Amino acid sequence: AQSVTQLGSHVSVSEGALVLLRCNYSSSVPPYLFWYVQYPNQGLQLLLKYTSAATLVKGINGFEAEFKKSETSFHLTKPSAHMSDAAEYFCAVSEANSGYSTLTFGKGTMLLVSP
């Protein structure tokens, strides 16, 4: 079975600083990878996804992630944090089977942004 590990349950940055959220995956086949964001008391919103078209994926709100097969990683970055980025971020891998796919999520990383 595929799995996802997110290093760091909490990450704190100052406004304007670089955001780096780490995600490593385990998969026996080429994976499809996703980053979702969850604001308090809300559902999950897709930030970006890797579908093997390009290793550097750009998403919404200035986020991007790079797929590195040799490191089995898909880290999420943003050059300059905004207060509005404070939320919980989830990395997920798609388990594609014959005709259907489901998501396996990591435990999440809470991003805290201080002024």
Integer Cα distance of 23 and 48 in angstroms: 13
Residue in 51, 61, 80, 114 binding other proteins, rule: CB under 8 A: 51
Q: With contact defined as beta carbons under 8 Å apart, do 111 and 54 qualify?
A: no
Q: What's the longest Cα–Cα distance across the chain?
A: 48
The CB-of-48 to other proteins minimum distance in angstroms stands at 10
- Return the number of the residue (17 or 103) whose C-beta is nearest other proteins: 103
Q: How far apart are CA 23 and CA 67, in angstroms?
A: 10
Site for other proteins in 92-111 (CB under 8 A): 92, 94-97, 99-108
Three-class SS string for 64-90? EEEEEHHHCEEEEEECCCCHHHCEEEE
Interface region with other proteins, contact rule CB under 8 A, candidates 11-19, 29-37, 60-68, 72-80? 29-37
Q: Which two tokens stand for residue 59?
A: 């998403």
Minimum CB–partner distance for residue 17 and other proteins (Å): 25
> How many alpha carbons fall within 13 Å on the CB side of residue 43?
2
43 binds other proteins (CB under 8 A): yes
Q: Does 46 bind other proteins (CB under 8 A)?
A: yes
User: Least distance to other proteins from the beta carbon of 31, Å?
Assistant: 9
Q: Which residues bind other proteins (CB under 8 A)?
A: 4, 32, 34, 36, 41-46, 49, 51, 90, 92, 94-97, 99-108
